[in-house]
């Protein structure tokens, strides 16, 4: 493979998560040549995690028989508030980091230019570049996984606000007095429609005697529950699971309605593991509910769609960032 | 007065509301020289309303002994979706208008260039120009009156989104299943913290036997209730009214928290009749609640302030638009 790629532009995209680090090598058309994965070990502190990112990047590069010097640039999506100009992760609850000079430290280890951004910003950047061919001016991305995050493209550019934290849709209050969120508040979107919220609702109902096919599949503690299991249960006719997913989709639709009223983007894109697993079950309800909640005329011509990038959105987006930034230089 | 102004740049700012039209003549520093007011009579249709706007503008100009030909430009803030480039009011529930060529029709009647914008956009434009001297890059304005509206300045410019309707904060859902809103949904910010929502809560409680100084002041039907009466009641020690206002301030703080999480502006400005009358009673609660609901780090360095422009924000902002647009030409 090195023969066909060593004269091309090659980039590495990294998705730095709370539990795992994912790296991918991409050509200039963002085709993935190889991937590698490693656990984050956040408890070992920023220095150790940065070493592990470097290891993960080298593994991916080695996997496709390349050398680091053939890589033009590395893009990284990190959780929390990220300052791309300073190259710092300002803070992140997820990793417990505070003003970590991620760019500088990684460049020391890898001798390749590194560009960093918030992980959800990276995802919407990748989607904008690879999936939205008509380049709408204003796009909002909502990513439903264990938690819920978002990213904004306004006037064709990433918009990250005053503290580099714009797009924190997961903690938009939708239901004052609603279920407790990990952030300490109640009724956040994330506490109503994330994977954790959905699992919690199911597990609590089962504790209270609710019957579901899921316990036949996984045992009564439902410990290894995954988004895909929900799909299987619905396909087998489990009306309880279907209703829980419908509810999550309704809350998501309300959140999308709020965003249409407030920001009035041309496109709203939904992504993340929950949407990837349950797109067919959720999207029609999300679209219908969003249009019900958007004010008359505000949703006219607005597309509400699901991303097809799935779990790769992070590394693909990071490679888009790497290419974008190295062409700027 | 004509002696000192006829060689200056003079502008007229118009605030077109559902019940009244307000016009003001302004010098180039946005000092108000004269005002006039007339009822809208929306039921007579767009043609009649446009005639009344022209009459109101002429009255204001005549009031300061000027003639229309001395006016360089007219700015108008209209409710609903306004397309400034096309010069049209695309739609407005308030007036029942649909694609009304307001700019063209008024220019015919007044022979002066007319520039139009959404009324809340106009307000935030006026506040940005006259009150925010440090010109923050991103500002969100929330206006609490009979209804609740908002306007966005992003990257130093008005942001109105895909359908010219960005900033519809009033219909952000804060409490799924909450009180019914005029828009047909339940739990909108407007149904929880607008003047109408506050009045409705008080009137209902009184019907259910709640004691309040307000009934001594205004009679048991509370028909002529105004925001200023609430302030008087609180000053007289009415704990019930105080609690209702505290609740409205808490909901407003939650809405501000949502906006900080989502858009992460540098400044959030609150205005409108409710804030004008009850600033001292509400602002501290709004600021504290917003900071509680904003995610860690997202509210750092963000100012949450009250506008001092009060009821004049509309006409002042419209004069800012008029000046801005005529300098562009």
* pLDDT tens-digit readout, B149-207: 999 999 999 999 999 999 999 999 999 999 999 889 999 999 999 999 999 999 999 99
The superfamily CATH assigns to domain A135-307 is ATPase, nucleotide binding domain (3.30.420.40)
CA atoms within 13 A on the CB side of B241: 24
Separation in Å, CA of A150 to nearest CA in chain B: 8
> Residue A1 pLDDT more than 50?
no
Residue B177's closest chain A neighbor by CA?
A: A175
* Dist CA B181 CA B169 (whole Å): 13
Contacts for A138 with CB less than 8 Å, ≥ 6 apart = A152, A153, A154, A155, A263, A264, A265, A266, A267, B161, B162
CA distance A90 to chain B (A): 9
User: Which secondary structure element, helix H or strand E, spans residue A153, and what is its range?
Assistant: strand A148-154
Chain A CB contacts of B162 under 8 Å are: 136-138, 264-266, 301-302
Question: Tell me, what's the pLDDT at A67?
Answer: 95
Contact B145, B194 (CB under 8 A): yes
- Residue A329 confidence (pLDDT): 66
Min mean pLDDT across B11-15, B243-247, B323-327 is at B323-327
For chain B, percent of residues with pLDDT exceeding 90: 88
Boundaries of CATH 3.30.420.40 in chain A?
A: 2-125+312-328, 135-307
- Shortest Cα distance from A130 to chain B (angstroms)? 21
Q: Token digits for B31?
A: 């000092």
Asked if the model's pLDDT at residue B221 lies above 90, the reply is no
3-state secondary structure of A159: strand
d(CA A154, CA A145): 24
Query: Which residue in A140, A170, A157 sits closest to A265, CA to CA?
Result: A140
Q: Which residue has the higher pLDDT, A296 or B5?
A: A296
Confidence at residue A96, expressed as pLDDT on a 0 to 100 scale: 87
- Which residues of B fall within a CB distance of 8 Å from A81? 297-298
pLDDT in the model for residue B329: 66
Q: What is the pLDDT of residue B2?
A: 46
Q: According to the model, what pLDDT value does residue A255 have? A: 98
- H/E stretch holding A57 reads helix A46-63
pLDDT at A237 (0 to 100): 97
B contact residues 56-115, partner A, Cβ 8 Å cutoff: 80-81, 90-91, 93
Predicted pLDDT at B128: 97
> Tokens representing B78?
């209209």
- A174 contacts B93? CB cut-off 8 A: no
| Whole-number Å distance between alpha carbons of B103 and B326 | 14
- Judged by a CB distance cut-off of 8 A, whether residue B251 touches chain A is yes
Query: Each residue of A148-170: pLDDT tens digit?
Result: 999 999 999 999 999 999 999 99
Identify which of A81, A259, A295 has the shortest CB distance to residue B297: A81
Among candidate residues B329, B314, B325, B323, the one with its CA nearest the CA of residue B76: B314
Instruction: Give this complex's ipTM.
Output: 0.93
What are B236's two structure tokens?
């007289």
**Residues of A with CB below 8 A from B268's CB?**
none
List, for residues A35-64, the tens digit of each pLDDT value. Answer: 999 999 999 999 999 999 999 999 999 999
Interchain CB distance below 8 Å, B264 and A183: no
Average pLDDT for B54-63: 98
Query: What's the pLDDT tens digit per position in A203-240?
Result: 999 999 999 999 999 998 898 899 899 999 999 999 99
Other beta carbons within 10 Å of B206: 17
Of residues B220 and B120, the one with the higher pLDDT is B120
Write out chain B in H/E/C secondary structure.
CHHHHCCCCEEEEEEECCCEEEEEEEECCCCEEEEEEEECCHHHCHHHHHHHHHHHHHHHHHHCCCCHHHCCEEEEEECCEEECCCCEEEEECCCCEEEECHHHHHHHHHCCCEEEEEHHHHHHHHHHHHCCCCCCCCEEEEEECCCEEEEEEECCEEECCCCCCCCCHHHCECECCCCECCCCCECECHHHHCHHHHHHHHHHHHHCCCCCHHHHHHCCCCCCCCHHHHHHHHHCCCHHHHHHHHHHHHHHHHHHHHHHHHCCCCEEEEECHHHHHHHHHHHHHHHHHHHHHCCCCCCCCCEEEECCCHHHHHHHHHHHHHHHHHHHC
| Mean of all residue pLDDT scores within chain B | 94
State yes or no: pLDDT of B6 exceeds 70.
Answer: no
Q: What pLDDT was estimated at residue B170?
A: 95
Interface test with B, best of A152, A264, A302 (most B CBs within 10 A): A264
Mean pLDDT score of chain A, rounded to an integer?
Answer: 94
- How far is B88 from B292, CA to CA, in rounded Å? 41
Dihedral sign for Cα B26, B31, B34, B37, please.
positive
Q: Could you tell me which of B83, B66, B74, B64 has the C-alpha nearest to residue B13? A: B74
Report the residue of A262, A293, A301 to disrupt the B interface, i.e. the one with the largest count of B CBs within 10 Å: A262
Q: Which of residues 173-192 of A touch B (CB under 8 A)?
A: 173-178, 183, 185, 187
Q: Please, which residues 262-291 of chain A have a Cβ atom closer than 8 Å to chain B?
A: 262-266
Q: Is B154 on the interface with A (CB under 8 A)?
A: yes
Using H for helix, E for strand and C for coil, what is the string for A104-121?
A: HHHHHHHCCCEEEEEHHH
How much is the pLDDT for A2?
46
What is the structure's pLDDT at A297?
A: 86
Is CATH 3.30.420.40 what the domain over A2-125+312-328 is classified as, yes or no? yes
What pLDDT is stored for residue B296 in this prediction? 85
What's the CATH class of domain B134-307?
A: alpha beta
Q: Beta B303-306 vs B267-271: how paired, if at all? A: parallel
What Rg value do the Cα atoms of chain A yield, rounded?
20
Reply yes or no on whether the pLDDT at A7 is more than 60: no
The pLDDT, as a whole number, for residue B94 is 77
Residues of chain B in contact with residue A300, where contact means CB-CB under 8 angstroms, are 163
- How close B74 comes to chain A (CA, Å)? 27
Residues of chain B with CATH 3.30.420.40: 2-125+312-328, 134-307
């Amino acid at each position: 493979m090195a023969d066909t790629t060593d004269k091309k532009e090659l980039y590495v995209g990294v998705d730095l998560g709370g539990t795992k680090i994912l790296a991918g090598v991409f050509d200039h058309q963002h085709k993935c040549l190889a991937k590698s994965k490693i656990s984050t070990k956040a408890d070992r502190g920023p220095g150790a995690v940065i070493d592990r990112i470097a290891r993960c990047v080298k593994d991916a590069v080695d996997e496709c028989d390349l050398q680091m010097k053939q890589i033009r640039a590395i893009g990284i999506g990190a959780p929390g508030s990220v300052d791309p100009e300073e190259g710092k992760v300002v803070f992140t609850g997820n990793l417990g980091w505070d003003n970590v000079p991620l760019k500088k430290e990684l460049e020391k280890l890898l001798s390749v230019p590194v560009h960093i951004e918030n992980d959800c910003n990276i995802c919407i950047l990748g989607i904008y570049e690879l999936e939205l061919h008509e380049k709408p001016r204003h796009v909002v991305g909502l990513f439903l996984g264990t938690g819920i995050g978002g990213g904004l493209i306004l006037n064709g550019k990433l918009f990250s606000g005053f503290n580099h934290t714009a797009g924190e849709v997961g903690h938009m209050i939708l239901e004052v007095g609603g279920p407790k969120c990990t952030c300490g508040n109640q009724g956040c979107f994330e506490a109503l429609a994330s994977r954790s919220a959905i699992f919690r609702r199911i597990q609590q109902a089962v504790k209270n005697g609710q019957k579901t096919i899921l316990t036949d599949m996984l045992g009564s503690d439902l410990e290894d529950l995954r988004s895909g299991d929900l799909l299987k249960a619905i396909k087998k006719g489990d009306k309880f699971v279907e209703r829980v997913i419908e509810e999550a989709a309704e809350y998501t639709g309300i959140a999308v309605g709020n965003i249409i009223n407030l920001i009035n983007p041309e496109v709203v894109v939904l992504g993340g593991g929950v949407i990837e697993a349950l797109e067919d079950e959720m999207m029609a309800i999300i679209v219908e509910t969003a249009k019900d909640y958007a004010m008359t005329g505000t949703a006219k011509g607005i597309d509400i769609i699901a991303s097809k990038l799935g779990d790769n959105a992070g590394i693909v987006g990071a490679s888009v960032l790497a290419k974008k930034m190295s062409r700027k230089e």
